[in-house]
Structure 1
Amino acid sequence: MLSPTTESLIARVSTGRRAERLVAILDMITERGTISLTDLSDGLGISAATARRDLSDLADQNLIVRTHGGATALERGGHEIPVALRDTRFQEAKRAIARAMVRRLPTGRYVVALSGGTTTASVARALANHRDITIVTNSLTIANLLSSNADVRLAMTGGFLRPQSLELVGALAESTFNAVNVGTAVLGADGVSAQAGVTTHDETEARTNRAMVVKAQRTVVVADGSKIGNVAMAQVADMDQVELLITDSSADPTELERLRAAGVQIVIADQE
């Protein structure tokens, strides 16, 4: 079951435009540290009442700290945008990455493991016409996307639900990944860097996805350019465990060179 605050946010984000605005507010607060209602209203061209309501919703999700007349960023470094908001970002890049990923899967019977995330969800959508494929996932979002596709065999892990990402995590999820043989593990990420590897915001989620990597014959990371060079709290995999990174042309070229030097193949999806 989703937490009440998560359900409230999902219910209130009724349009893509509002979701994009909430993400923009998070980015502004993270960049400046603090912001006033006046600056927010002027910067986004919205009314004070709208700005006040948006800040209240974000504070309810523990993404910001509400103050008199504005808001401040949380003291901890980096915010994790809830899955209800993430899918509005970099949509064209994610679709291109997904198409590039699917082109690199073999035809015929094959097992693919998909972690949670909006880019891996795009991969799931792109698999709509792929036959004789088995998908193993711990993501409720991906399971829902594939549930009506008769040509895809779908296996879900058990585990405890993490509301921020709608992923099942923990020992039950890990035991499912430990019990199957996977051809390709497709990982989303909050950060990808040559030094820190593939990282995410939550340690339990990282440990669950690590079990997926260990059982796979190869691991592919799918991440838009905003994730390249970032480092989140918990490591999922070292870069020497990753065969291929599929990203887009907005990725930092210097960091891509470091990743190539570490032995990772790079595909720039929107230049294919």
Structure 2
Amino acid sequence: MSRDARWKSLLELLVERGRLDVEEAAGELDVSAATIRRDFDQLAEQQMLVRTRGGAVVHGVSYELPLRYKTARRASEKQRVAKAVADLVTPGEAVGLTGGTTTTEVARALAVRADLASGSSGLSASTAPSAPSGLPALTIVTNALNIANELAVRPQFKIVLTGGVARPQSYELIGPLADGVLSQITLDVAVLGVVGFDPDQGASAHDEAEAAINRLLCERAERVVVAADSSKLGRRAFARICPADRVDTLVTDTAADPATVTRFEEAGITVVLV
């Protein structure tokens, strides 16, 4: 197992359990205790965990894995969810994308949709004018640097990136500069990546500044779609994005608890299982 893969596994275990002992982690990953001690020390130097006698703990209730360490978690579920979300988008629409691993997959799914590849909304490749003279297949508005970077090379898309201060955990731009851009636009659909989505508590994120930008995206959109794998459902995090009744559609995987799905549907949300 490579060091990066080992670190990713250690951080995932820490998020799930809150605390890890050296011997416990060594047994889980089938490596020596000395290797785990060295990993813990190096991760502590990067302020990604807190070293304790004989182990490590997470930083606290708002602890969050940086995006680069989350990309492999539940990857197949996220990709299925992302394709289903991308299929809900109509050519020519203005689409808001928050940051996160699932919304990054949504961006990738939009990028490979055949009917969006021509660079003009709703026209076939043989009759559509070539970009940039034709209408954009989609206008993508995002505060996520990584999403903008991936889609900027796609001439069929118009990319609008908000200003703001970069948040290293999620590559998102936050703060009043982002507010200023979002307050001047309207969206057909906002696609939210969330840390938790609960029928009573609504959608939530770890960071309050991130949640504030996501909330503004919701307010500027005609409809709101939450893209979340089933592990996010019934959970809540520190900062609320919006109440459940502000969400029109939830796209999740088939491992979702049926009782929780029913509660979302009773709240008036269309639930798509993939």
Tell me if TM exceeds 0.5.
yes
My pick for the range that moved more, 128-137 or 95-104, is 128-137
Does residue 212 of structure 2 align to residue 200 of structure 1? no
Give percent identity, aligned residues only. Answer: 40
1:197: Cα distance to partner? 0.3
Aligned to 1:50: 35
**What is the Cα deviation at residue 30 of structure 1?**
4.6
- When Rg is computed on C-alpha atoms for both structures, the one with the higher figure is 2
Q: Which of 137, 141, 166 pairs up with 1:161?
A: 166
Aligned pairs (5 A) from 1:79-98? 79-98=63-82
Which moves more between the two structures, 86-95 or 26-35? 26-35
TM-score with structure 2 length normalisation?
Answer: 0.86
Q: What aligned pairs does 1:1-272 form with structure 2 within 5 A after superposition?
A: 18-74=3-59, 76-77=60-61, 79-107=63-91, 109-129=92-112, 130=116, 131=119, 132-269=137-274
Q: Secondary structure at the match of 2:111?
A: coil
Provide the rounded CA distance (Å) in 2 between the counterparts of 1:250 and 1:185: 24
- Which has the larger share of helix? 1
Q: Deviations over 1:125-161 (max 9, x none)?
A: 0111424111000001101111211111101000011
| CA drift at 1:22 | 2.9
Per the TM alignment, residue 214 of structure 1 is displaced from its structure 2 partner at its CA by: 0.4
Contact 1:113–1:212 (CA under 8 A) maintained in structure 2: yes
Q: Give 1:195 deviation, angstroms.
A: 1.1
Match of residue 126 from structure 2: none
Q: Deviations over 1:66-117 (max 9, x none)?
A: 123321343x32521111101011111111111101111112x211010000
4+ residue runs of structure 1 moved beyond 4 angstroms? 17-20, 30-33
Q: Is the 1:20–1:89 contact (alpha carbons within 8 Å) kept by the matching residues of 2?
A: no
Change in 2 beyond 3 A, CA 1:121/1:69? same
- SS of 1:123's equivalent in the other structure is helix
Q: CA RMSD in A?
A: 1.8
Q: Say whether the 8 Å CA contact 1:161–1:167 is kept in structure 2.
A: yes
Cα distance in 1 between the residues matched to 2:76 and 2:145: 23
Mapped to 2, the partners of 1:178 and 1:79 lie a distance apart of 30
- Residue ranges of structure 2 left out of the alignment (5+ in a row): 120-136
Please give the alpha-carbon distance, in whole angstroms, between the structure 1 residues aligned to 2:191 and 2:15: 29
Check 1:260–1:176 CA distance in 2 against 1; reply closer, same or farther (3 A cut): same
Contact 1:171 1:208 survives alignment (8 Å): no
> Once the 2 structures are TM-superposed, how far is the Cα of residue 172 of structure 1 from its aligned partner?
1.0
Matched residues in 2 for 1:201 and 1:237: separation?
Answer: 13
| TM value normalised by structure 1 | 0.87
Paired letter, 1:195: D
Q: Distance in 1 between matches of 2:239 and 2:215?
A: 11
